[in-house]
Structure 1
């Protein structure tokens, strides 16, 4: 059986690897020159089953309105004439209710836990090293942030996620790199510690796994852009590249991120995935200074700081309605502020490498996995900011489905049918 995987980000690479383990002949097609060159390249760097939560949280509706007036808001809405943007925003706002957010949170936790198990299995089987660390610290600046976290803490307790609620002083003891910031007045009311969450270099992991996939017979076709899917007798037959060449396959798996919806639309598949622009910065630590030992997440700004040796990845800010590569000062100021707030005097901002990319987001939060309703066409997209967290589990699930096997976890809330069934 020959399977084409469209997209060589972390999700596509994991999918291709697991398909190869099922004995299938696999071809991965990507428009870039290598793996993990788009959304996977500049992601936040953490693999966080504990911290995983939907974007469709009740508080983010207010954040969207705040962003119209506050320079450093975590969510920004850009004017757009594209009706698809406003249709997605309307669907998203409709999901920002406590009851729905709770349900989506539990679905995402289920997938994240399974994915964490798959990632650990890969790491142990192949002795992979990708600058991994353990631990994530969610920082709550104000009493309001602490109160808002009660909803999340109920979900964590209900789903059995290991976590510890910390006071201001306990936070400084656990993460000494924050002590100076707290001492000079950076507001902090408390924190939530996730000891089992992880971080790691996503592109490095993707390169290592792609090498293993190639050893198993997977073919990677780079610098090749899929123009459209091809079909015959009501079933997908393969893909047509921009150069005009057609490749045939027994099945096609769409792992093309935000472009998945556009490519599947002519096949009659409607996927409510929108590309949301996000930012990150690679920042060097000043000589003889120390950074955090684990990822720290500033909940007020939805911005994280993840250590990679003597450099840090600061990531955050979301722009709805923007997909260009422009680096907007408003977003860059947010990342800079968060970094300097928590690590005053330790960052060499003159050596900052800025990045922006587009993440495929669903309006409710969980990704879309499995059959599409079009014979021989499968989907693995919509992971949003959790692509690194979900990739291994989602790849294994879709590989099982293509092979005709029952996945190891319940897929309720993860299939495309949730958008067509009446609630």
Structure 2
């Protein structure tokens, strides 16, 4: 089991009675799916999360004990190290320029300019973990062949697939986050969230990552990664201040904006592409990390011609063909 910053439990905060009324269809669905949950009154919400602002209006909450919040970046780095220990080779600072389908599909690769911001691509990590460092690549263009290729290149997937008649309606839905160190006080250890809470009205989640606190939310269609919607960022700060006033050192806050590619009907596309040797793992949207390991297992089973443990009907590319 990977050892990364994580905590269990997720509390959805409902500010007023109408918020609870609007949540009823979701509660019905949770019950039908057998997802463990409970509806808490305001007092029980504050018992579960003692750091909540006592002056903030709170009607009720929905508690999901089996949900988890964690450090996704840390998880990914640890997963990479475990994969390297098993012999997986990673090629960073490399662009896949073209995909050639076939019984032995090929990738046309081109190295890109290497920055110095990612120390994990050097021997620094190798000396710390005992795993092999990332293997150097040829300085010029190169070709890699494989038994199969899984395309999971987010918004870059379109350019790889379009020449082969695959045009997926992927759209970027941008999300925002603000992360800052917490003001830790041994006399008031519960100033911040114990795990994670979400303000249902504003759709903003507040989570604890070790000694930091993060507010995240928003679903912005279109735009670019570098153009920030200041109103969206202001909403994150507002909700954080509503529920945990003064908990964060905002002068040291880091803000982030990133695209989460989604498909119009919601679910990802997973499985064979219909093009020889090419498989798809795309369009998970804001559920990317939650679905990542399960999606990888399904693909591994399909590639090995084993029956997946879950029903994959409705996840194939055929649903997107017109």
Counterpart in 2 of 1:325? Answer: 226
Determine whether 1:339 maps to 2:213. no
Alignment pair present for 1:154 and 2:28: yes
Unmatched 5+ residue regions in structure 1?
1-122
Once the two structures are superposed, residues 297-350 of structure 1 have per-residue CA deviations (whole angstroms, 9 ceiling, x without a partner) of 111111111101221121111210113322331121011011101101222111
Partner of 2:88: 218
Q: How does 1:81-230 map to 2 (within 5 A)?
A: 123=1, 128-178=2-52, 181=53, 183-184=54-55, 186-230=56-100
Conserved 8 A contact 2:104-2:277: yes
Q: Which residue of 2 aligns with 1:310?
A: 211
Return closer, same or farther for 1:224/1:173 CA change in 2, 3 Å cut-off. same
Q: Distance in 2 between matches of 1:272 and 1:236?
A: 27
Q: 5 Å matches for 1:276-315? A: 276-288=173-185, 289=188, 290-315=191-216
CA distance in 2, matches of 1:189, 1:257: 39
Contact 1:238 1:250 (8 Å CA) reproduced:
no
**For 2:147, which of 250, 255, 258 is the aligned residue?**
250
Cα offsets for 1:344-373 (capped at 9, x unmatched): 122211110111111111222221111111
Aligned partners of 2:218 and 2:232 also within 8 Å:
yes
2:131 aligns with none
The superposition leaves residues 72-108 of structure 1 with CA deviations (integer Å, 9 ceiling, x where unpaired) of xxxxxxxxxxxxxxxxxxxxxxxxxxxxxxxxxxxxx
Work out the CA distance in 2 between the residues paired with 1:204 and 1:282. 15
Residue 236 and residue 338 in structure 1: after superposition, are their counterparts in 2 closer, same or farther (change >3 A)? Answer: farther
When Rg is computed on C-alpha atoms for both structures, the one with the higher figure is 2
Counterpart Cα distance in 1 of 2:241 and 2:11: 17
CA distance in 1, matches of 2:18, 2:143: 56
Aligned equivalents of 1:296 and 1:356: distance in 2?
Answer: 20
Residues in 1 aligned to 2:75 and 2:21: alpha-carbon distance in whole angstroms: 37
**1:360 & 1:143 partners in 2: Cα distance?**
34
* Farther-moved stretch of structure 1 (244-253 vs 341-350): 244-253
Task: After superposition, give the CA deviation of every residue in 1:108-146 in whole Å (9 maximum; x if it has no partner).
Answer: xxxxxxxxxxxxxxx2xxxx2101211000111222221
Q: Which protein, 1 or 2, shows the higher relative CO under an 8 Å CA cutoff with sep ≥ 6?
A: 1
Cα deviation, residue 410, structure 1: 0.5
**Cα distance in 2, alignment partners of residues 338 and 347 from structure 1:** 12
Distance in 2 between residues matched to 1:313 and 1:262, nearest whole Å? 34
- Contact 1:369/1:381 (CA < 8 Å) preserved in 2? yes
Of the candidates 95, 108, 126, which is equivalent to residue 240 of structure 1? 108
SS at match of 2:249: strand
Q: In 2, are the aligned partners of 1:283 and 1:314 still within 8 Å (CA)? A: no
User: Aligned residue for 2:157?
Assistant: 260
Judge which range, 244-253 or 339-348, deviates more.
244-253
How far 1:264 moved relative to its partner?
Answer: 1.2
In 1: Cα distance, 2:166 partner to 2:319 partner:
13
Q: Could you tell me whether the CA contact under 8 Å between 2:101 and 2:276 is conserved in 1?
A: no
Aligned-pair distance for 1:236? 7.1
For the residue of structure 1 that corresponds to 2:32, the secondary structure is: helix
The answer to which of 153-162 and 325-334 deviates more is 325-334
CA contact (8 A) 2:101 2:278 kept: no
Q: Quote the Cα distance in structure 1 between the aligned partners of 2:51 and 2:160.
A: 46
Q: Hey, what does 2:291 align to over in structure 1?
A: 390
- Conserved 8 A contact 1:278-1:318: yes
What's the Cα RMSD here? 1.6
The match for 1:99 is none
SS at match of 1:258: helix
CA separation of 1:236 and 1:270: change in aligned 2, threshold 3 A: farther
Aligned residue pairs: how many?
289
Secondary structure class of the residue paired with 1:341: helix
Aligned with 2:94: secondary structure? coil
